[in-house]
Amino acid sequence: MVPECRVPPARPAWLPELLAPAGDWDCVRAAVENGADAIYFGLELFNARMRARNFTVEELPALMEWLHLRGVRGYVTFNTLVFEPELPQAEALLRAMMVAGVDAVVVQDVGVARLVRMLSPDFPMHASTQMTITSAAGVDLARELGCQLVVLARECSIPEIRRIQETQARHPAGRPLPLEVFVHGALCVAYSGQCLTSESLGQRSANRGECAQACRLPYGLVADDRPVPLGDRQYLLSPQDLMGLELLPELIRAGVASLKIEGRLKSPEYVANVTRAYRQALDRLAAMARTPEELPPVWNVDPETRYGLEMAFSRGLYTGWLRGIDNQALVHGRFGKKRGVYLGEVVRVENGSVILAAVGPVRPGDGVVFDAGHPEVEEEGGRVHAVEPVGRDGSDVARLRLRFGHGTIRWARVRPGQKVWKTSDPALERSWRRSFEGDQPRYCRPVIMRVRGQAGAPMELCVTDEQGRSVTVRSALRLEPARDRPLTPEVLQEQLGRLGGTPFYLAGLECALEGSVLLPFRELNRLRREAVAQLERLRKEPPRWTVRAEPVTGPRTRDEVSADGPAPAPGVPAGPALTVLVRSMEQLDAALNWGAETIYCDFENPKQYPAAVERVRRINAGRSRPATIWVAGPRICKPGEEWILRQLAASRADGFLVRNADQLYHFHGQRCVGDATLNVANHLAAAFFLERFGVERVTASYDLDADQLEALVRALPPGRVEVTLHQHMPMFHMEHCVFCAFLSQGHDYRDCGRPCEKHRVQLRDRVGALHPVKADAGCRNTVFNARAQTGAEYAGRLIRAGVRHFRIEFVEEPGDEVVRTLSRYAALLRGEIDGETLWRELRLVHQLGVTRGTLRRG
């Protein structure tokens, strides 16, 4: 039996694209058969979900043919950093995409974006959310790189999206770049592209698709050296999952061009259910309004849809940051894994069964779990065998007895008061799977048919699809005058509309036959089949992108680097020099007294910068070799935060440690150093910042090990790459504020009482390490690794490669430790001690020890 074809309604131009995830072929079918306009997927390399099954390069042509036949676009996620030795491999992969007819590539790495444009002037490119774009300046940067669409950071609210759109509308380049936002799925607590947690703790970089999900683990909160009692709230960094379904009218009015569903690691059933929910909502909105302004102000999610979304995957559903910041609501802290639908509380346990105060639906066969408040340990749960009503016990809440298979539940571990969650609904899961099983198309695309002809001539059938492609076929037999049963529009509609088993449905028929004529039905059927076959072949043809024939990457000699790379930096020291990053006035004084010559100030409050600059100027008056002071801004800049840039400028510092697009544009023409937040991993990325913005040098990405770092340094003139040799790695960088969420009753900075100004806060992990938490001027939090790391053993090798600036970063170290650390690293650079000796010394003087860091793999 041929499955019924689901027919989409006509859609207005203002309706956003619906973009669904696909980790494998089943997910592709699940997305397409449930109404996705486009899918995004990864190949076996360079994608941010390396744990997904992904696709091979060999599969790519067939996959794109199948998608284009079904009227669906396919975007390849190339959204990781690419190291210098990998550039030829990246080039080969990009060429394969272009030849296969991929509709767009989604990139994180600025160097990869440049590589795309070196290879092709017209291959579509999207800026990944891994680019951490939160402002109009970020969009401008993506435009300069040649992107055609920008995926905004998940932390952008709808008002901020509107402001970005408004600023774009005034851009001299003209038409604003389309914006894409995530509307459903897991939320990363850290900014994508700025999370170094997995790299810091286990050398599994999120910027390389190997996130270990440390945000989903339990943490303790320590304020001013005392544990903060939080009860059952242990998952302090695990946000609820995003659900933006109720905000679709607002997102459409904000001008969002594409709505993205997260989930390349999720099941095909999840993809099917979530895609269908958003497809149905979008189509209903399209049917009720001619313009976005006519859409209803509020869009309510019906209980059945919400139930399905919770069952598909849910850690709790919330609107994320789309409505703005609410730190209390974003992270409930009670669990960090899938729960599903809340069923109620255990009233009592008796006779191998449980009495439930039920607030949710439960049936035999459903899977449930008993929540004892400790989700980090194995929990009791199983399939329900029987459900029996037992009355209400004087309560408005129904009481149900749930029975389970013998031996499946250890009843001694189940207690009254425990919460019960439904984690599986087999009947619902079967219905999701039926929506995409088999080879027959279920979600069909419209075609228009036109017939014309006259007696004595062949009949002509023209078929046009929704994308404007047309084919025309002619009958082998001539039309004859009809004495009875002529080809009326109704007859033609009946015969030509038999499109079962194809990805089409007949949306309209124009009949231009002259007089009363007929043609045998077998010939009509042959015409229809031939036209459909031709149209299918036409739809499968890949788009033709311009591709440069000559290779553009490969090993480069020093002479080639000098000839075609950025110019050598002015004033590069002949030998290695230390730069120092401090985060307090005490550390600044210590660095100055020690004799530091290049100091970066990274204070939480930029209003302190003028005083810091003045202090350096005063000390310089008595020094033969004056120190330069550079000030750093926050890692993130959002609309409305331009005051921070003005504060930095007003400090009259010698230069700026720039961390994002806003700072690159604002301080262009002044002395600047690019920080590690720019994610420079190859010479193409480095050259962009060095040449386009004139930064004196760039700080290498913290994702590089020693071999990769050396390859990057050798691909650039000496002195153009700064290396952080000693630091507490900044792990999580979050819009979420731990101070507000767990040390106040407020929702954001307006009503939290600013506990960040009163308390010193740390997160205690499962092994007892205390990771410092700092808040910046935008109320964003950074969690620093408790243990410092050193690359001291690689200093000599990097000096020989061409590194001239080595950075030492401090977080909470007292002044005497700053002096001691700087003295020992200065001795290292002078050759008085070796790297291993310094590492062993540092291990002895640091309470938690010092790791060898991410430069050392394995």
What is the CATH number for 387? 2.40.30.10
Angle between helices 110-119 and 87-100 (to 10 degrees): 50
Q: Assess whether 178 and 314 both reside in one domain.
A: yes
Give CA–CA dist 740/746, Å, rounded: 6
Q: Do residues 283 and 359 touch, judged by C-beta distance below 8 A?
A: no
Task: Give me the residue label for tokens 């030849």.
Answer: 99
What pLDDT score was predicted for residue 574?
79
Which amino acid type is present at position 494?
Answer: E
Average pLDDT, the chain: 92
Which amino acid type is present at position 839?
Answer: W
pLDDT in tens, 518-573: 999 999 999 999 999 999 999 999 999 999 999 999 776 666 666 666 877 777 78
Give CA–CA dist 227/217, Å, rounded: 18
Give CA–CA dist 116/635, Å, rounded: 26
Please, where are the H alpha helices in 101-146?
110-119, 136-144
pLDDT in tens, 564-607: 668 777 777 878 999 999 999 999 999 999 999 999 999 999 99
Using a CB cutoff of 8 Å and minimum separation of 24, what contacts does 815-822 make? 815/586, 815/587, 815/589, 815/590, 816/590, 817/845, 818/580, 818/582, 818/587, 818/590, 818/591, 818/594, 819/590, 819/593, 819/594, 820/845, 821/726, 822/578, 822/580, 822/591, 822/594, 822/596
> Which of the four pLDDT bands, split at 50, 70 and 90, describes residue 610?
very high
Mean pLDDT (whole number) for 616-632: 93
Which residues lie below 8 Å from residue 837, measured CB to CB, with a gap of 6+?
Answer: none
What pLDDT score was predicted for residue 741?
94
For residue 157, tell me if it sits in a domain. Answer: yes
Q: Assess whether 177 and 262 both reside in one domain.
A: yes
Mean pLDDT (whole number) for 306-326: 96
What pLDDT score was predicted for residue 297?
87
Q: Do residues 355 and 347 touch, judged by C-beta distance below 8 A?
A: yes
Q: Assess whether 321 and 179 both reside in one domain.
A: yes
The helix/strand/coil state of 369 is strand
Tokens of 816: 């005497």
> Which of the four pLDDT bands, split at 50, 70 and 90, describes residue 848?
very low
Give percent helix, percent strand, percent coil of the chain, each to the nearest 5: 35, 25, 45
pTM of the model as a whole: 0.94
Tokens of 841: 């010394």
Tokens of 487: 């080809």
Q: Of 751, 770, 785, which residue sits at a domain end?
A: 785
Mean pLDDT (whole number) for 35-47: 94
What pLDDT score was predicted for residue 858?
44
On the question of pLDDT at 856 being above 80, the answer is: no
Q: Assess whether 767 and 806 both reside in one domain.
A: no
The helix/strand/coil state of 648 is helix
Which residues lie below 8 Å from residue 3, measured CB to CB, with a gap of 6+?
Answer: 438, 440, 442
> H or E stretch including 63?
helix 60-69
Mean pLDDT (whole number) for 616-637: 94
Q: Assess whether 768 and 816 both reside in one domain.
A: no
In this structure, the dihedral spanned by the alpha carbons of residues 733, 735, 738 and 739, taken in order and rounded to 10 degrees, is 110
Q: Do residues 604 and 777 touch, judged by C-beta distance below 8 A?
A: yes
pLDDT in tens, 692-722: 999 999 999 999 989 999 999 999 999 999 9
Q: Assess whether 156 and 171 both reside in one domain.
A: yes
On the question of pLDDT at 351 being above 60, the answer is: yes
Mean pLDDT (whole number) for 110-128: 98
What pLDDT score was predicted for residue 4?
58
Burial 794-806 (b: 16+ CB within 10 A, else e): bbebbbebbbbbb
Tokens of 382: 């199983």
Nearest to 277 by CA among 259, 264, 294: 259
Q: Of 326, 356, 386, which residue sits at a domain end?
A: 326
CA 641 to chain centre: 23
On the question of pLDDT at 622 being above 90, the answer is: no
How many residues are recorded in the chain?
A: 858
For residue 317, tell me if it sits in a domain. Answer: yes
For residue 278, tell me if it sits in a domain. Answer: yes
Pairing type for strands 672-674 and 770-775 reads: unpaired
For residue 334, tell me if it sits in a domain. Answer: no
* CATH label of the domain that carries residue 316: 3.20.20.70
Q: 127: which strand partners?
A: 107, 150
Locate the DSSP E strands across 194-335.
220-223, 226-227, 241-243, 258-261, 317-318
Q: 358: which strand partners?
A: 344, 398
Mean pLDDT (whole number) for 473-493: 94
Q: Assess whether 32 and 100 both reside in one domain.
A: yes
Tokens of 46: 């360079």
Q: Do residues 546 and 146 touch, judged by C-beta distance below 8 A?
A: no
What pLDDT score was predicted for residue 854?
60
CA 663 to chain centre: 22
For residue 406, tell me if it sits in a domain. Answer: yes
Give CA–CA dist 508/176, Å, rounded: 35
What pLDDT score was predicted for residue 47?
86
On the question of pLDDT at 402 being above 90, the answer is: yes
* CATH label of the domain that carries residue 666: 3.20.20.60
Q: What is the DSSP letter of 621?
A: T
Give CA–CA dist 579/699, Å, rounded: 11
Name the least confident of 144-148, 212-216, 326-330, 827-831.
212-216
On the question of pLDDT at 633 being above 60, the answer is: yes
Q: Of 434, 458, 488, which residue sits at a domain end?
A: 434
Q: Assess whether 805 and 778 both reside in one domain.
A: no
> H or E stretch including 364?
none
For residue 858, tell me if it sits in a domain. Answer: no
Give CA–CA dist 221/755, Å, rounded: 14
> H or E stretch including 594?
helix 585-594
On the question of pLDDT at 338 being above 80, the answer is: yes
CA angle 56, 60, 64 (to 5 degrees): 150
> H or E stretch including 725?
strand 721-727
Q: Assess whether 216 and 293 both reside in one domain.
A: no
Q: Do residues 773 and 761 touch, judged by C-beta distance below 8 A?
A: yes
The number of folded domains in the chain is 5
On the question of pLDDT at 667 being above 70, the answer is: yes
Tokens of 142: 């993506």
Please, where are the H alpha helices in 651-803?
661-666, 683-692, 706-714, 738-743, 795-801
Nearest to 543 by CA among 52, 83, 101, 19: 101
State what percent of residues in the chain have pLDDT above 70.
Answer: 95
Q: Do residues 218 and 196 touch, judged by C-beta distance below 8 A?
A: no
What pLDDT score was predicted for residue 51?
72
Q: Do residues 344 and 391 touch, judged by C-beta distance below 8 A?
A: no
Which residue range is the domain that position 740 belongs to?
A: 190-199+207-238+730-785
Pairing type for strands 781-784 and 730-734 reads: antiparallel
What pLDDT score was predicted for residue 528?
97
Task: Give me the residue label for tokens 């193409």.
Answer: 684
On the question of pLDDT at 50 being above 80, the answer is: no
Mean pLDDT (whole number) for 344-364: 93
Mean pLDDT (whole number) for 754-761: 94
> Which of the four pLDDT bands, split at 50, 70 and 90, describes residue 758?
very high
Q: Assess whether 156 and 194 both reside in one domain.
A: no
What pLDDT score was predicted for residue 520?
94
Tell which wins on pLDDT, 397 or 679.
Answer: 679
For residue 618, tell me if it sits in a domain. Answer: yes
> Which of the four pLDDT bands, split at 50, 70 and 90, describes residue 391?
confident
Which residues lie below 8 Å from residue 211, measured CB to CB, with a gap of 6+?
Answer: 48, 195, 198, 204
The helix/strand/coil state of 701 is coil
Q: Assess whether 520 and 645 both reside in one domain.
A: no
pLDDT in tens, 236-256: 999 999 999 999 999 999 999
pLDDT in tens, 175-221: 889 999 999 999 999 999 998 888 888 777 788 878 888 999 999 99
CA angle 757, 760, 761 (to 5 degrees): 115
pLDDT in tens, 787-835: 999 999 999 999 999 999 999 999 999 999 999 999 999 999 999 999 8
For residue 121, tell me if it sits in a domain. Answer: yes
Angle between helices 158-169 and 136-144 (to 10 degrees): 50
Q: Assess whether 425 and 455 both reside in one domain.
A: no
